[in-house]
Amino acid sequence: MKGGDMADKTLFQKIADGDIPSEMLYEDDVCFAIRDINPQAPVHFLVIPRRPIPTLNHLEKADEDLVGHLFTVAAKLAMEEELTDGYRTVFNCGRHGQQTVNHLHLHVLGGRQLKWPPG
């Protein structure tokens, strides 16, 4: 790898490329899913597009199929994780949304009774 390339990658690109270890739950050409390193529920995983779209605000019309795919993968994995009593999907966006990694990712949380509204 050429100097600088590594620094240009997002955290989630580094995980997808195997530069940083993670528990990979699912992979296809469009997205992948990993367990969150700091789980906020008994089951907490992230569904992540391979393309490093920074935030929800960077989505374009042409990305609508991609976003739909993230949700169908999330639902399939939620059933594999036996979240039959329900679960929550979340895209954090920007500072007030407490997004910390600028590479779009769909959180899936479950395995306990979640509260509403969130903090």
Q: What H or E segment, with its residue span, contains residue 14?
A: helix 11-16
Q: How far is the CB of 15 from ligand AMP (least distance, A)?
A: 6
107 catalytic residue (yes or no): no
Q: Per rule CB under 6 A, is residue 47 in the interface with ligand AMP?
A: no
Q: Least Å distance between CB 88 and ligand AMP?
A: 13
From residue 88, how far is each of 13, 60, 64, 70 by CA, in Å? 24, 24, 20, 14
Among 50, 63, 99, 111, binds ligand AMP (CB under 6 A): 99
Q: For ligand AMP, which residue of 16, 31, 33, 34 counts as binding (CB under 6 A)?
A: 34
The side-by-side arrangement of strands in the sheet containing 106-110 is: 24-27, 31-35, 43-49, 106-110, 87-90
Query: Smallest distance, Å, CB 40 to ligand AMP?
Result: 7
Cross-strand bridge partners of residue 49: 31
Binding pattern for the stretch 56-95 against ligand AMP, x by CB under 6 A and - elsewhere = ------------------------------------x---
How far lies 70's CA from each of 15, 93, 117, in Å?
Answer: 17, 16, 24
The two structure tokens encoding residue 30: 């469009």
Sole binder of ligand AMP in the list 9, 26, 36, 66 (CB under 6 A):
36
